[in-house]
């Protein structure tokens, strides 16, 4: 007689947030990590400089996986830099000793990134470095430039010009005692780093940019300058055969509209975490991700779908439970992990999940998780002083008479509270986070809806066409499915 599988309620699918998982259950990120699109391995080898994908797609998980894994590798150094509370827009104003503009933003980021790299190199006992490197490190430390948190310094540097009095800067044969501007310091740091050799692997990883809305010109200029700085630094390291690179996790919708003419050249060095390739059935790689997590504590469960989710259903238009479940997500790891938590609460047994339990799980997930996730993503779009107006927008979205609506329907409901530009900003944020789709046509009288996570036509945001609430929002707000 075949042994029964473990109860579904005992399986561990991981956490919604990679940072929390890294603290509470690091094994899931080390042994149970699924390297989708080779994102982590590409960073490890230096092939990838960018991780692109929507919020919740697993970018941070790839970085946390490497950070935890490399702790046991004496020749691998991972510097994780969380920018969530960093004054990103102030970087464009750092007084580098050159006029304002794109080049100053790039130079300012190069200055900050080189400081992180020098701090990482100093930890490498296997390096071979000229004496000027250790002297530079000592002087930078004395000047307070190698601290882990520069928030106060960046604010100060952005308001007034500054120079650093360093006793030893430059190549070994040209020691100079004088003040250096940040721009001069960048050149000097590069010259000294070029003289370092090491077989070790160093990565400076930038994360936390998903929390920014990038509505001000300074924020856009800063992020664009950061991308160019990453490219410049990485090319410099390759030129000097150093296994050192800077990596950034960036929302793909933000990256695609950054100002600058050459950013597309960085795409060959990116890994895009788009989970829609295999559709919404059992072949989607999200199920493989869950299998990897579950196998850490229950290696006997080789296939979550076959073991627990293979019962046929009759929930229009779906016949397979996996399709039904994924159709209420945005095809993101975060959404599916959240949904499977509700499935476990609705049914925790050892056999196939009943249709009734799945429907109850989807309903509770839609009401308790998905709505909150969507509305949280609207916070900050209008600014902290517009909470009342944002609440009005939320109420209008909750009380739409149908799940399809027009731009002017929302504008008219909010007349006197929000103008058309503000309504457009909020709807665009909902589109960018997968909460609403846009109706398009194939030209053969066949309409379909594009969502950011599943684009049929590849079209972007527009207010000219009809909008559609995501399935989970339609269910939570009691709007009949079309």
Question: In whole angstroms, what is the distance from residue 137 CA to residue 124 CA?
Answer: 13
Q: Quick check: 138 and 154 in contact, CB under 8 A? A: no
What average pLDDT does this structure show over 169-190? 72
R_g (Cα) of the chain, nearest Å: 25
Residues 6+ apart with CB under 8 A from 122: 137
pLDDT at 143: 81
Percent of the chain with pLDDT over 90: 65
pLDDT at 398: 94
Question: In whole angstroms, what is the distance from residue 207 CA to residue 385 CA?
Answer: 27
3 state SS of 187: helix
Q: Quick check: 87 and 155 in contact, CB under 8 A? A: yes
Of 22-36, 183-197, 370-384, 464-478, minimum mean pLDDT range: 370-384
pLDDT at 49: 94
pLDDT at 98: 62
- Dig out the tokens for 84 from the structure: 């969530």
Residue 284 is classified by DSSP as S
pLDDT at 303: 97
Q: How many residues does the chain have?
A: 482
The band of 182, judged by pLDDT with boundaries at 50, 70 and 90, is: confident
Cα–Cα nearest to 450, from 276, 307, 211, 310: 276
Q: Quick check: 333 and 56 in contact, CB under 8 A? A: yes
pLDDT at 338: 98
- Dihedral angle sign, alpha carbons of residues 340, 323, 455, 465: negative
Question: In whole angstroms, what is the distance from residue 449 CA to residue 436 CA?
Answer: 9
The band of 89, judged by pLDDT with boundaries at 50, 70 and 90, is: confident
The band of 158, judged by pLDDT with boundaries at 50, 70 and 90, is: confident
CA terminus-to-terminus distance, the chain:
46
Question: In whole angstroms, what is the distance from residue 116 CA to residue 112 CA?
Answer: 7
Over residues 233-262, the pLDDT tens digits come to 999 999 999 999 999 999 888 888 887 767
pLDDT at 180: 75
Enumerate the β-bridge partners of residue 449. Answer: 439
Determine whether 398 is exposed, middle or buried from the number of CB atoms within 10 Å of its CB (0-12, 13-18, 19+). middle
Residues 6+ apart with CB under 8 A from 409: 400
3 state SS of 373: helix
Asked if the model's pLDDT at residue 166 lies above 90, the reply is: no
Residue extent(s) of CATH 3.40.50.300 domains in the chain: 33-272
Question: In whole angstroms, what is the distance from residue 463 CA to residue 393 CA?
Answer: 16
Q: Looking at domain 33-272, does it have CATH number 3.40.50.300? A: yes
What average pLDDT does this structure show over 334-350? 97
Asked if the model's pLDDT at residue 445 lies above 60, the reply is: no
Q: Quick check: 64 and 22 in contact, CB under 8 A? A: yes
Asked if the model's pLDDT at residue 169 lies above 70, the reply is: no
The band of 454, judged by pLDDT with boundaries at 50, 70 and 90, is: confident
Over residues 97-148, the pLDDT tens digits come to 666 666 888 999 999 999 999 999 999 999 999 988 998 898 888 888 887 6
pLDDT at 442: 59
Residues 6+ apart with CB under 8 A from 53: 59, 251, 252, 272, 273, 274
Asked if the model's pLDDT at residue 75 lies above 90, the reply is: yes
Determine whether 478 is exposed, middle or buried from the number of CB atoms within 10 Å of its CB (0-12, 13-18, 19+). exposed
- Dig out the tokens for 461 from the structure: 């945001």
3 state SS of 161: coil
What average pLDDT does this structure show over 330-348? 97
């Amino acid at each position: 007689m075949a042994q029964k599988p473990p109860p579904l309620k005992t399986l561990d699918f991981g956490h919604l947030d990679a940072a929390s998982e890294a603290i509470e259950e690091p094994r899931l990120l080390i042994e149970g990590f699924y390297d989708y699109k080779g994102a982590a391995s590409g960073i490890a080898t230096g092939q990838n400089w960018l991780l692109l994908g929507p919020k919740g797609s697993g970018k941070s998980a790839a970085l946390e996986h490497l950070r935890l894994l490399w702790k046991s590798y004496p020749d691998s150094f991972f510097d994780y830099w969380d920018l969530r509370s960093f004054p990103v827009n102030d970087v464009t104003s750092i007084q580098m000793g050159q006029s304002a503009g794109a080049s100053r933003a790039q130079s300012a980021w190069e200055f900050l990134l080189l400081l992180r790299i020098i701090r990482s190199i100093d930890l490498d006992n296997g390096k071979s470095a000229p004496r000027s490197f250790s002297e530079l490190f000592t002087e930078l430390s004395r000047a307070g430039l190698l601290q882990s948190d520069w928030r106060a310094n960046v604010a100060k540097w952005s308001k007034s010009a500054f120079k650093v009095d360093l006793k030893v800067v430059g190549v070994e044969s040209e020691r100079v005692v004088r003040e250096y501007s940040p721009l001069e310091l960048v050149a000097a740091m590069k010259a000294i780093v070029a003289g370092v050799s090491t077989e070790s692997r160093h990565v400076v990883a930038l994360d936390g940019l998903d929390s920014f809305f990038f509505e001000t010109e300074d924020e856009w200029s800063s992020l664009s300058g950061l991308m160019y700085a990453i490219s410049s630094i990485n090319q410099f390291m390759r030129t000097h055969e150093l296994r050192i690179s800077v990596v950034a996790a960036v929302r793909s919708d933000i990256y695609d509209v950054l100002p600058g003419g050459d950013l597309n050249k960085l795409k060959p060095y990116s890994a895009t975490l788009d989970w829609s390739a295999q559709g919404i059935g059992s072949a989607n790689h999200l199920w493989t991700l869950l299998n990897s997590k579950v196998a850490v504590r229950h290696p006997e469960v080789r296939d979550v779908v076959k073991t627990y989710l293979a019962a046929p259903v009759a929930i229009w238009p779906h016949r397979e439970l996996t399709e039904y479940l994924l159709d209420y997500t945005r095809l993101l790891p975060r959404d599916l992990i959240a949904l499977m938590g509700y499935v476990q609460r609705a049914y925790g047994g050892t056999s196939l999940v009943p249709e009734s339990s799945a429907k109850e799980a989807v309903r509770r997930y839609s009401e308790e998780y998905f709505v909150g996730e969507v509305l949280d993503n609207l916070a900050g779009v209008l600014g902290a002083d517009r909470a009342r107006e944002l609440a009005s927008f939320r109420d209008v979205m909750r009380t739409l008479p149908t799940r399809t609506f027009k731009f002017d329907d929302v504008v008219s409901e909010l007349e006197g509270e929000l103008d058309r530009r503000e309504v457009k900003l909020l709807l665009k944020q909902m589109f960018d986070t997968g909460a609403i789709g846009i109706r398009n046509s194939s030209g053969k009288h066949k309409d379909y809806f594009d969502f950011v996570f599943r684009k049929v036509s590849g079209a972007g945001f527009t207010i000219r066409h009809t909008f559609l609430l995501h399935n989970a929002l339609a269910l939570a707000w009691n709007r009949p499915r079309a």
